[in-house]
Amino acid sequence: MITEFTPFMSLFGGLLIGSSTVLLMLTLGRIMGATGVLAGFMQPSSASDWSWRAALLAGMVTAPALMTLVTGQAPEIQVPVNTLMMIVGGFIVGVGVTYGAGCTSGHGVCGMARFSPRSIAATITFMIFTAITVYVVRHVFGG
């Protein structure tokens, strides 16, 4: 499996995530963790709470279409595993998000920026298990 190194696209994506996180904190005083945003969208506490979450999720969904309009080329999406592996992976991530009280965006981007010990520990745990998973998939299963 070949992994492409895309430093400029990665930097641009990181800048977009970072600036949107800061803007959400500055404007609404909210932390942008994707799992929390989605959970609050599904069970909103108020109409105004639902509206900003809906706008954020709509932006996440429509961004590929906007990129296609701007560049004339759809973003390439490669999924190197079969559907069963995606379902199993999604289930494992869901369990991790539940027990970890948040996801990589909440802990890794927002929590670490606030020097939250819990988020730092969660992010270290994410990274360790990511490395183990990549090793097992690539070198044990030969994927």
> For the chain, how many residues are written?
143
Other Cβ atoms less than 10 A from the Cβ of 107: the count is 26
89 belongs to a structural domain? yes
41 belongs to a structural domain? yes
pLDDT value, residue 100? 80
75 belongs to a structural domain? yes
Number of folded domains in the chain?
A: 1
pLDDT value, residue 1? 55
Angle formed by the axes of helices 7-28 and 47-71, nearest 10°: 150
1 belongs to a structural domain? no
pLDDT value, residue 101? 83
57 belongs to a structural domain? yes
pLDDT value, residue 143? 60
What domain range is 104 assigned to?
A: 7-140
What is the mean pLDDT, run by run of 10 residues, along the chain of 143 residues?
77 89 90 86 88 90 89 84 86 84 83 89 90 87 73
The residue whose two tokens read 């270290």 is 124
2 belongs to a structural domain? no
